[in-house]
Structure 1
Amino acid sequence: MDGVELQILWSNMIGIVSEQARALQRIAFSPIVREAGDLANGLFDADARMVAQAVTGTPGHINSLAAAARNLLAHTDVTELKPGDVLITNDPWMSAGHFFDITVLSPIFRGDRLIGYAGSTIHHTDIGGYGIGSGARDIHEEGLWIPVTKLYEAGKPNETLFSIIKRNVRTPDALLGDLGAQVSSGMIASERLNALCDRYGLDDISELSDEIIKRSESAMREAISKLPHGTYHGASTFDVPGGQTITLKTAVTVDPNAGEITIDFEGSSGPSGSGINVVPAYTHAYATFAVRSTLNPDLPNNAGSLAPIKLKLPEECIVNAKYPSPVNARHVVGMYVPFPILKALSEVVPDRVVAEGSGAVWTIQIQGRDANGRPFTSSMFNYSGGMGARAEKPGLSAICYPTGVAAVPVEVLEASYPIAFTCKELERGSGGTGRQPGGDGQRIGYRMRTSHPWLLNTIPSRLKNPPEGLAGGGDGAPGRFEINGKPVLDTRKMEMQPDDEVFMVTPGGGGFGA
């Protein structure tokens, strides 16, 4: 395909999937989607290969969505799909790793011919069960499990499924509103892709997707081929709710002749009894993000560029969750997956990696009744710490690395829920020292504007084990979590009183260089 023609068509594809994501954010009910961008949108060809992703989204969602499309269609008779059909699931092992992330896949037809799919995954406000915390003892305590099924069939809603969802969640209006946003964004992608085909005289996108994926894979293999052959090791240790210490170990093998990288997690911590276990698709998502962002960050993120990165996961391992392990707080471990990989890659490309950062965002969910007795359940909202320093630049402060979600503004949260913030500011000097200092964490305090007891789910990490510096850089400061001025380690769902005040200080990032 001619290079100029390909660039024009590629720009159109990115425009389509980015418009799909913007529509989803505009229509969504929940602040976690609308404000924070905790979502993924992808455009797939007829073979369910991800061709393009939106510029908005998180690695955990986007790269899991790439696998989710294949998984959904493996449980679907594709020959029976019709215009107006919409597939849905929140199966943790098929999509993004916990029940809150619902994946919607909309077939795109050109006339009566299937030419592709529009997919989206977003974090929903509530899915019943325990909530976003790590306190459930198995997956069946964690909420509503939606198997692969049709949310819409030939344009008509599956009323039975909608009724089941309504009766199993605390905030059905918000969840159904966000589902509607996902369906609408898929319709927009379908219209725009057909318009692209009309504009350039295409019967389908098969030739275009073949060219994009082939070139992306070739460029990724070329980037790997420039690295020295060998196996490089990294490890990262951190603490999670309840004081449990987790270690992730990686052996990163570079094979420049094949243009492949294999990441082996042998030696990592075993499965957990709390809901911090990580399914393979989510582990793969953050592992590939670490390699892709280090070696060739400007390359399109699609089936081609992801193909040369392989994983080996031990059977009994916290990042290879098996049924019926609880997984609702899987991000608490999953967001640390890049760090041991980056440490291993620092032996090969020391100028392209970053030091350890605060890791997993500190997620908060509040439930209760407001001063008028009306029930509320917040969507998860996040607070981030400092990013690790880079070889030539300081780490960024209060940034959600590696997830990439934005912070929901205090004003939006206070307008949406009966919450009042008492402070929100940078924790100056919490980043590690070094030639390049780590980013600072932040301090946040809040209480609820209610006369009723309320429930708190929160998942802090790195209260004991600080982010390590790299190449002689100093460690960042560990975090703090307090209720009414007293430190708390066990943060499983807690009943709080109206006057209780929560205070948090997120960790600072590690420094780079002596």
Structure 2
Amino acid sequence: MDGIELEILWSNLIGVVTERAKALQRIAFSPIVREAGDLAYALFDQRGRMVAQANTGTPGHINSLAFAGAHLVKEFAGRCEPGDVLITNDPWLSAGHFFDITTLTPIFKGDALIAYLGSTIHHTDIGGYGVGAGARDVHEEGLWIPPLKLYERGTPNPVLHAIIGRNVRTPDAVFGDLAAQVSSGQAAAEHLIALCERHGLEDLEALSDEIITRSEESTRNAIRKLRPGTYHGKTVFDAPGGEKITLKVALTVDAETGTIVADFDGSSMQTSSGINVVLNYTHAYATFAIRSCLNHELPNNTGSLAPIEIKAPVGSIINCSYPAPVNARHVVGMYVAMPILKALYQVFPEKVLAEGSGAVWTVQIEGRKADGKPFTSSMFNYSGGMGARAEKPGPSATCYPTGVAAVPVEILEAAMPIVFDRKELRRGSGGAGRMPGGDGQIIAFHMNTSDPWLLNAVPSRVDMGPEGLGGGESGQSGRFLVNGEYVSPARKLGMKPGDQVVLETPGGGGYGTPA
């Protein structure tokens, strides 16, 4: 395909998916989507290959969506009609826990199915236990939606809508978010059909082949430039409840074939708490870590991901088996990048960063307002410090590798009876080094309610701070306090009116020996 023509068509594709993703974010009900950007949006071809993703979102959703879209296309092959919308939140088929619901809209040009548009967003509530590590198996964690049709020929599936409505605490918010996903998919479909008509395309298959083939070959060429060999990395951290988790990776670079294999053999086995990770989510953050150092300027699609293979033992904490609980899977999943960066330090030390705080600290609150109406907060996140880089300090209150921002305190205070007493940087918590690690932050809040309330919180690194790199010093570990007492929660906490919660997130590791 002519390079100029390809660039014009590619810019059009990116424009469509990015515009619709930002529209979805603006109209979403869930604050973590609307304010924090916890979503993914992508275009798939007829064969279920991810062709283009929006310029927004978080890696855990984006690269998991590539798997979810492929599963749904395969499941409903030959059974889609105009007006259908497909749906699932199966953890092992999509993004790893029930809160992340994926929808896929088949796009028809006349009677011909030409492509699909998919989105994954974090919903406010999915029933069950909530965002925490306390469930004993996956069935306690909420509503499981297998691959189904949310809409059939433009009509809502009444049985599925009734089931969803009766199994969640905040049905208006959940259906509002689903409507946002459906409407953005419909609008994007219209734009893509117009694109085909403008350029005289019967479908997108030739364009998809060109994009994916070029992306794959460019990634293989980037790998061929690396020094071949096997490089090892390891990270150890504490999870909610004091569990010590070990993630090991052997990263093998094959310059002849242009492939990288990341093998997590030797990592911790799955646990009884809900911090287990499905392989899709492990793959999402592992490939993101590799590609962010290798060839971040290339498009992220099925082609650029193909040369990277991720392996993990079945039954391990990063390839858990049913019915392992998974609702707090980000607590471990966001650490997957850390051992990979340590392995890549041996390949190109100037492109990696020291260990950061790892997973964002997530908080979910349940209770009753003054008028007696129940509320469930959407998950809101707080980052620690990011690890330092070879030539730059680590940013403070910034989490690598996720792309999820913090929900502003003003939004949270407007949505529920919460009062924030402090929110400031935790000065000096970053590790010393030639380049210092980023600082964590301090957040203090209490609930302005006369009734007891429930707190779901999943802090990590409250015992072990992030390690420095190349002689850099470790960042400070975090602290989680309730009424001044240290707590390491793995389960929901029953709270009283007036109880104060303080979160002191970890600082990032330093890079290089301190001057």
Do structure 1's residue 20 and structure 2's residue 10 form an aligned pair? Answer: no
In structure 2, what is the equivalent of residue 505 of structure 1?
Answer: 504
In structure 2, what is the equivalent of residue 321 of structure 1?
Answer: 320
Do structure 1's residue 45 and structure 2's residue 39 form an aligned pair? Answer: no
In structure 1, what is the equivalent of residue 33 of structure 2?
Answer: 33
In structure 2, distance between residues paired with 1:381 and 1:464: 22
Do structure 1's residue 223 and structure 2's residue 222 form an aligned pair? Answer: yes
In structure 2, what is the equivalent of residue 382 of structure 1?
Answer: 381
In structure 2, distance between residues paired with 1:491 and 1:266: 26
Do structure 1's residue 480 and structure 2's residue 472 form an aligned pair? Answer: no
> Residue by residue, what CA displacement relative to the aligned partner does 1:272-291 show, whole Å, maximum 9, x if unpaired?
01001100000000000010
Letter of the 1:52 counterpart: A
- Deviation, 1:185, is 1.0
Letter of the 1:40 counterpart: A
In structure 1, what is the equivalent of residue 332 of structure 2?
Answer: 333
- Deviation, 1:491, is 3.9
In structure 2, distance between residues paired with 1:215 and 1:330: 34
Q: How does 1:250-289 map to 2 (within 5 A)?
A: 250-289=249-288
Q: How does 1:22-421 map to 2 (within 5 A)?
A: 22-76=22-76, 78-421=77-420
Give 3-state SS (helix, strand or coil) of 1:310's partner. strand
Letter of the 1:179 counterpart: L
2:457/2:489 contact within 8 Å kept: no
Letter of the 1:475 counterpart: S
Identity of aligned residues (%): 69
- Deviation, 1:41, is 0.3
In structure 2, distance between residues paired with 1:38 and 1:256: 35
Letter of the 1:118 counterpart: L
Higher mean C-alpha displacement, 312-321 vs 146-155: 312-321
Give 3-state SS (helix, strand or coil) of 2:68's partner. helix
- Deviation, 1:48, is 0.7
- Deviation, 1:199, is 1.2
2:222/2:295 contact within 8 Å kept: yes
- Deviation, 1:316, is 3.0
Do structure 1's residue 10 and structure 2's residue 21 form an aligned pair? Answer: no
Letter of the 1:429 counterpart: G
Letter of the 1:223 counterpart: A
Give 3-state SS (helix, strand or coil) of 2:390's partner. coil
Letter of the 1:412 counterpart: I
In structure 2, distance between residues paired with 1:150 and 1:315: 30
In structure 1, distance between residues paired with 2:489 and 2:70: 38
- Deviation, 1:12, is 0.4
Letter of the 2:51 counterpart: V
- Deviation, 1:201, is 1.1
Letter of the 1:359 counterpart: G
- Deviation, 1:54, is 0.6
> Residue by residue, what CA displacement relative to the aligned partner does 1:121-147 show, whole Å, maximum 9, x if unpaired?
000111111110000000011110001
Give 5+ residue unaligned stretches, structure 1.
Answer: none
Give 3-state SS (helix, strand or coil) of 1:314's partner. coil
> Residue by residue, what CA displacement relative to the aligned partner does 1:182-241 show, whole Å, maximum 9, x if unpaired?
001111110110111111111111111111101110110011000111000000000011
In structure 1, distance between residues paired with 2:370 and 2:214: 58
> Residue by residue, what CA displacement relative to the aligned partner does 1:370-424 show, whole Å, maximum 9, x if unpaired?
1221110011000000000011111111013211111111111101111000000
Higher mean C-alpha displacement, 165-174 vs 22-31: 22-31
Higher mean C-alpha displacement, 20-29 vs 167-176: 20-29
Letter of the 2:450 counterpart: S
Give 3-state SS (helix, strand or coil) of 2:284's partner. helix
Letter of the 2:187 counterpart: I
Give 3-state SS (helix, strand or coil) of 2:352's partner. coil
> Residue by residue, what CA displacement relative to the aligned partner does 1:59-98 show, whole Å, maximum 9, x if unpaired?
000000001011122222x212111000000000000000
In structure 1, distance between residues paired with 2:301 and 2:493: 41
- Deviation, 1:30, is 1.2
2:447/2:498 contact within 8 Å kept: yes
TM (normalized to structure 2)? 0.99
TM (normalized to structure 1)? 0.99
- Deviation, 1:355, is 0.4
Letter of the 1:502 counterpart: V
> Residue by residue, what CA displacement relative to the aligned partner does 1:438-467 show, whole Å, maximum 9, x if unpaired?
011000000011100000000000000110
Q: How many residue pairs are counted as aligned between the two chains?
A: 513
Give 3-state SS (helix, strand or coil) of 2:351's partner. coil
Give 5+ residue unaligned stretches, structure 2.
Answer: none
> Residue by residue, what CA displacement relative to the aligned partner does 1:90-122 show, whole Å, maximum 9, x if unpaired?
000000000000000000111110110000000
